[in-house]
Structure 1
Amino acid sequence: MPPRLDRMIYVDDSGHPQSGLAVYGWIEFSPDHWRSVLRCWLDTRKRLWREFGIPVTEELHTTAYVNGRGRISKSIPGRHIHDGYEYWKDFGREVAHECLETLRCAEGLSLGAVYRRGKPDNLAQTKRELYADLVTRFEHELLESDSLAMIFMDGDGSDSSYRTTHRGLALAERRVIEDAIHIDSAGSQLIQMADLVAWCANTTIDRHEKNAFAAEWYKDHLSERDPEREPKEI
């Protein structure tokens, strides 16, 4: 039998430029679970609209709303308002917990994250090399299962290094179909899910006082969906 397409992989990046840390996180599922995974997430987005006034079309960019910078709702719940002051960080973290539980419970979903530490002044190269090694890992897995995959990434595709990574592989042996397909995260619920995975992986690896509140989010909410159980250094 010819190999079949059985993995759809949505990838986003994170990291800490000041220390040279590069991170990629992803969600994935087989094509026949595409509808159920997206439905599970959209059901959560509709609940966030009903309960918190967050439009389904509003981009949930983790860095922004978890740190209180993103005004994702025009009317946050009263429990996050004290003495007339809106506590956007507390609100954002409650939203994050709702989204994390959705990732934990979505049928057919798996996820993962990888990272590498490089020199702060050479982060772009570290990211390129990490991505290349991640694709190589996917290719090896796909060879073992005799299957195919597609990779979707945040962005407009202007960074040619991603394309170069795929085209540097022998065409006769490639298992990832085409190059990575770039999608604007603002319009992709699935990329926003991957963004949350990448962000949580980053806070697990790069632990410091400012993100201590989320240091265990990956372990507590995402590890059971990760075959490796934690972000892996490669």
Structure 2
Amino acid sequence: MSAHLNRMIYVDDSGHPQSGLVIYGWIEFAPDHWAGVLRSWLDTRKRLWREFGIPVVEELHTTEYVNGRGRISKRIPDRHVHAGVEYWKDFGREVALECLQTLRSSEGLRVGAVWRNDDPQHLARTRQEAYAALVTQFEHELAEEESLALIFMDGDGSDMSYRSTHRNLKLAERRVIEDAIHLDSHGSQLVQMADLVAWSANAHVDRHAHNEFAWEWYTKYLSERDLARVPKKI
């Protein structure tokens, strides 16, 4: 029985470098759901443009806009302006919840997240080991399913550790086609979706006071799309 390409996986990373925490979050779907998943997200992006003036081509980088640093719109709603002061954090979090609801309701979409915590002085090694463990997890799942996958990641591909992770596997047994394919998050709506998953997983795992507002985002919006239900230590 020949294997078929059944999974397209878009991965982004998050974490807390000061404590040595590394997170990988992802979205995935079968190839025949690609257009539907993207359409659902683009419909939300168009609504954000109509209601909030956020351009569809504006990158939604979760760390920036949920913390009020990113000025993603020139037309902040009046409900987020008090005594002439614009409350960008409140606005950004409203936008994030709109996007999370889209992930929650997109037909054919699955999400997931894994994490590893180690000595912050060896963060690069922790990141590489966590990614290698994730790829191994995917490979085992794909072998059981007798299927193939493609992995897409944020970045320019300059980190050779991602490539070596794939090439250290036995070619005859590999189920992930090629190395990870790197995409610029600025131009990829699907990588931006993965970024939101990774950030929400980070808030779930690293429960510091500044992110208390998002501690339950993963559980409330994403767990039903995650076969593991919560971010998994790997």
Aligned residue runs from structure 1 range 113-128, under 5 A: 113-128=113-128
1:123-144, CA deviations, whole angstroms, 9 ceiling, x for partnerless residues? Answer: 1100000000000000000000
Structure 2 Cα separation of the partners of residues 209 and 111 of structure 1: 25
Structure 2 Cα separation of the partners of residues 58 and 144 of structure 1: 39
Aligned residue runs from structure 1 range 198-213, under 5 A: 198-213=198-213
1:51, CA displacement in angstroms?
A: 0.2
Structure 2 Cα separation of the partners of residues 62 and 23 of structure 1: 14
Structure 1 unaligned blocks of 5 or more: none
Q: What's the TM-score, normalizing by structure 2?
A: 1.00
1:5-50, CA deviations, whole angstroms, 9 ceiling, x for partnerless residues? Answer: 0000000000000100000000000000000000000000000000
Structure 2 Cα separation of the partners of residues 155 and 178 of structure 1: 16
Structure 1 residue aligned with 2:85: 85
Matched, 1:16 2:12: no
Structure 2 residue aligned with 1:140: 140
Structure 1 Cα separation of the partners of residues 130 and 142 of structure 2: 18
1:183, CA displacement in angstroms?
A: 0.1
Structure 1 Cα separation of the partners of residues 105 and 232 of structure 2: 22
Give the AA of the match of 1:42: L
1:107-151, CA deviations, whole angstroms, 9 ceiling, x for partnerless residues? Answer: 000000000001011111000000000000000000000000000
Structure 1 Cα separation of the partners of residues 165 and 141 of structure 2: 17
Structure 2 residue aligned with 1:59: 59
1:152-195, CA deviations, whole angstroms, 9 ceiling, x for partnerless residues? Answer: 00000000000000000000000000000000000000000000
Structure 2 residue aligned with 1:99: 99
Structure 1 residue aligned with 2:43: 43
1:103, CA displacement in angstroms?
A: 0.2
Aligned residue runs from structure 1 range 106-185, under 5 A: 106-185=106-185
1:183-213, CA deviations, whole angstroms, 9 ceiling, x for partnerless residues? Answer: 0000000000000000000000000110000
Give the AA of the match of 1:119: D
Q: What is the root-mean-square deviation of aligned Cα atoms in Å?
A: 0.4
1:58, CA displacement in angstroms?
A: 0.1
Give the AA of the match of 2:62: T
Give the AA of the match of 2:230: E
Structure 2 residue aligned with 1:196: 196
1:74, CA displacement in angstroms?
A: 0.5
1:220, CA displacement in angstroms?
A: 0.5
Report SS of the residue matched to 1:8: strand
Structure 2 unaligned blocks of 5 or more: none
Give the AA of the match of 2:95: V
Structure 1 residue aligned with 2:76: 76
Structure 2 Cα separation of the partners of residues 154 and 133 of structure 1: 18
